[in-house]
Structure 1
Amino acid sequence: MFLLLALSSLASRAPDTGASQCTELNGCRRMFDIVWGCLVTVVACIWVSVHPNVPAPSPKEPEKSAGQWNWLIWHLRDTLGPLKQRLKLMFAALLAPELIVGFAGRQLWMARSFAEKYDVSLAHGFFIGMGGFIDDDGHPIVTCAQISANPDLLIGIQSVSTATLKDKSKGDLFSKGIALCQGLWFVAQCIARRVQNLPLSELEVATLAFATINAFTWLLWWGKPLDVRDPIVIHSPRPAEPRVPPYVSRVTQLLILFTGVCSDDEFAPGATGVTSVPAFWCAATADISDASYTLAMACEFLCAVLFGAIHLAAWGNAFPTPFESWLWRAATLAIVAPPAILVCLTALDAFSNVVNFFPSDTLGNAFLSIGGIFYATGRLFLLVLPFTTLRALPYKTFVDVDWSVYVPHL
């Protein structure tokens, strides 16, 4: 809603004086060039970086005698199911890219853990964690408890070749190459503008932050199969055990969203009714080690600090009003300080067992709650301000980079 108000305000504003002052034919850029370049970069980076888990099974096909309307509904449900899971990850990457980095990091460490423990490839490890293997009943095989309870499952997983898993992946070099080139081109423009003392708009600074953080996500998920629609069935001669419907509380769902870790109970060997892993599933609590979890959290906090630090590049920009200038600075500090403190606390907690940061859990929870409120408020303002400030950009913002300085020419 805030974003729509900002855009409507921008659309109804008076003609921009900065853009009107830049009259050189080949040395200026338009407002459309700035906005379009930023939006394309953000969408391309997020679209390529997110690697969703295996979605729920496709709905059952209607009978051949069914009408065209029924077939149309089936095709829509079959298409929108996986797309919904991907869009959910993209939305999270847009609002909180550092959470997706932490999620990707936990999945990578779990994939390595599975690969070492069961003597399989990293792709197999990712495939286990993302719900790519299911048993004869359609139940995802994602925990060590399941594999330990039925050794035939491990034999079946090891028999699947790495080439088969790569063939399941929908990733292609063309789409990744386009996104990579767009991201590198945008970063090169930002660097060149700084070298030539040309200011970046606040929208470009925010876009640079998103592109940088999503690059980490892309690297962490480099070996994860992309857009796998159908899981691989691992057949087992052992009879199925009695099944009971799982129960996932609201608190557990929020825990899955923010940490990517939930209880073993949902995927215990005796559970049923679950045909796919949650969108933010990483591992069962019994499978992920404390060291891996702490390291992933530290990386998550570091990315949050980096994301905010990049916004500091607009600290001295000429804002439309002094209020917006101080609001940008306050919002930037609000998203840098809390995760920076948490990084220090996490590091001290990881390497020292004698430091007690908070005398009680109540004080610790209060710190996290207050820090979370500051962080969320700062993020909200940094989503809106890049668009509201477009109404009055300085003249030099519309001056294009002189690439002839770097390219040899006659």
Structure 2
Amino acid sequence: MFIALLAPELIVGQAYEQKKQAKLVHNTWCAHFNIKPGSPEDKMGIEGAFFVVMGGFVVNEDPEAGEDSEKDNFTWHRSLTSKGFLNYLSKNQIPLDAINKRVIVDKGKADIVAKFLVCLQALWMVIQASARKASGLPITVLELHVVIQVMFVLITYTQWGYKPLNANEPIILSIEGEIGVTSARTFRKVGKNENSFLEILDSIEANWERSPSNGWVVIGAAVITGVAHASAWNYPFPTHIEKVMWRVSSIALAAPSMYFSVSVVSETVRKVTRKYSRVDELDTGKGSWEDSTLYSILTVAFFLTSVPLYILSIIFITVEAFISLRKVPLRTYDSVQWMDYWPHV
């Protein structure tokens, strides 16, 4: 919740990647058993695929010798990653009846109706702000900030519409035959800090190594965040200093995209070079651009400047959105007449 408040674009990036992985798992499952997606024979469904991506399936044998070990606030669980699940599936070690989406849906704490009501309530905030703008009434900085957050929530819900919500208990998955050699790609290491800011950054950057297109989603969302907040460029603020700081912070919100753009562009160039280059780097004796000292220096410099600047900027914008209410135009307290008669919660 805290990360969604301060960095909604990261959550959008995570949601996009998880939906992409869920589609891959679901399509692979259906192709493996020669099942048409969405048919009555499809017992997994997209809900079950999301549960796989969430790490909701655990195996009945510990990959580590002995009891579960705890170290640095983490615990090794027997939670399968999506790669590990597909690996066992390709070896015919997961039977068709091992997954039932009805059981998975039952574990969720919200159905489609509850999610629809949440989206409807969030959409009402957007309609309310749009109506005030169309009527010539002033919009406060807090309203603008909330509308931006709401838009990201709606985008996230489009990606997580079929994802089970708050499913706390995993499902034991029986693996037929030997589990074999385990690795970090097969089992997930989860613990108290799995949803931390740095963990999400590491996850997003790792996903970009497989598909740079995922990175452009976060970069685009970061730029949209900055531009949307910059729309309050000429809004009335309590003091001139606060207005200037808001403008600077709005521009700085897109700062992390500078760091991530280097990673995405570099990864894209590397893949294109490997695909079309006629000379193997190993044969020339030259290292890749990612291994150079200059690349390391630039990457560290971008990270150490853009990320702290982004954190400070979003903290200021969040705080300023509330404290700016101490001095607002008088017409802020007026409401659109027709909205007073429209039933809403």
Counterpart selection for 2:299 from 360, 364, 372 = 364
Give me the TM-score of the superposition, normalised by structure 1. 0.61
1:185-224 CA distances to partner (integer Å, 9 max, x unpaired)?
Answer: 1111111111122111111111011111121111111121
Separation (CA, whole Å) in 1 of partners of 2:308 and 2:50: 34
User: Amino acid of the residue matched to residue 124 of structure 2?
Assistant: W
Which amino acid counterpart does residue 213 of structure 1 have in structure 2? F
- Which of 17, 23, 35 pairs up with 1:106? 17
Equivalent residues in 2 for 1:249-268, closer than 5 Å: 256-260=199-203
Aligned counterpart, 2:47 = 123
CA distance in 2, matches of 1:248, 1:232: 16
2:7 to 88, 92, 96: 96
Alpha-carbon contact 2:58-2:170 (below 8 Å) kept: yes
Q: Is the 8 A contact 1:111 1:122 kept in 2?
A: yes
Counterpart of 2:200, as a letter, is: L
Q: How many angstroms does 1:124 deviate by? A: 2.5
Asked if residue 155 in structure 1 is aligned to residue 66 in structure 2, the reply is no
Equivalents in 2 of 1:344, 1:193: separation in Å? 40
CA distance in 2, matches of 1:246, 1:104: 18
Given candidates 193, 208, 223, the residue that maps to 2:132 is 193
- How does 1:232-243 map onto structure 2 within 5 Å? 232-236=171-175, 238=177
Partner SS, residue 154 of structure 1: coil
Contact 2:219–2:260 under 8 Å retained in 1: yes
Contact 1:208 1:310 in 2 (8 A): no
Are residues 1:217 and 2:194 paired? no
Please say if residues 204 and 215 of structure 2, whose CA atoms lie closer than 8 Å, have aligned partners that are also in contact.
no
Candidates 51, 56, 65, aligned match of 1:132: 56
Shift of 1:141: 2.2
Q: 1:346 to 1:236 in 2, by over 3 A?
A: closer
Structure 1: which 5+ residue stretches go unaligned?
1-89, 263-284
* Aligned counterpart in structure 2 of residue 176 of structure 1, from 107, 115, 132: 115
Equivalent in the alignment of 2:74: none
Q: Partners of 2:122 and 2:304 in 1: how far apart?
A: 35
2: CA distance between counterparts of 1:316 and 1:374?
22
2:241 alignment partner, one of 323, 328, 339? 323
Q: Determine what percentage of the aligned residue pairs are the same residue.
A: 26
Partners of 1:125 and 1:106 in 2: CA distance: 13
With over 3 angstroms needed to count, the CA separation of the structure-2 counterparts of 1:227 and 1:248, relative to structure 1, is closer
Q: 1: distance between equivalents of 2:138 and 2:188?
A: 55
Conservation of the 8 A alpha-carbon contact between 1:135 and 1:233: yes
Q: Deviations over 1:311-338 (max 9, x none)?
A: 1232111111111111111111111354
| Counterpart-to-counterpart distance in 2, 1:241 and 1:302 | 41
Provide the aligned C-alpha RMSD in A.
Answer: 3.8
Question: Is the deviation greater in 323-332 or in 174-183?
Answer: 174-183
Q: How does 1:326-365 map to 2 (within 5 A)?
A: 326-339=244-257, 342=260, 346=264, 350=268, 353=272, 359-365=294-300
d(CA) in 2 for partners of 1:162 and 1:246? Answer: 22
Counterpart contact for 1:193–1:199, Cα < 8 Å: yes
Opposite residue 329 of structure 2, the aligned amino acid is P
Residue from 306, 316, 331 that aligns with 1:396? 331
* 1:300-311 paired onto structure 2 within 5 Å: 300-311=218-229
How many Å separate the matches in 1 of 2:241 and 2:191? 43
Match of 2:170 among 231, 243, 253: 231
Deviation at 1:91, TM superposition (A): 1.5
Matched residue of 1:400: which SS?
Answer: coil
SS of match in other structure, 1:314: coil
Distance 1:99 1:324 in 2: 26
User: What are the superposed Cα offsets for residues 342-368 of structure 1, whole Å, 9 maximum, x if unpaired?
Assistant: 5598468637857x8995320232023
TM-score, length of structure 2 as denominator length: 0.71
Alignment of 1:55-74 (within 5 A): none
Greater relative contact order structure (CA < 8 Å, 6+ sep): 1
Extract unaligned runs of 5+ from structure 2. Answer: 31-43, 63-77, 274-288
Encode CA deviations 1:348-393: one digit per residue, 9 max, x unaligned. 8637857x89953202320232112221221111011111111111
Q: Secondary structure at the match of 1:336?
A: coil
The 8 Å contact of residues 118 and 154 in structure 1, kept in 2 or not, is answered as: no
In structure 1, C-alpha distance between the alignment counterparts of 2:251 and 2:208, rounded to whole Å: 33
- For these two proteins, the number of residue pairs brought into alignment is 291
Cα distance in 2, alignment partners of residues 261 and 154 from structure 1: 29
Q: Tell me whether 309-318 or 376-385 shows the greater mean CA deviation.
A: 309-318
User: 3-state DSSP class of the match of 1:140?
Assistant: strand
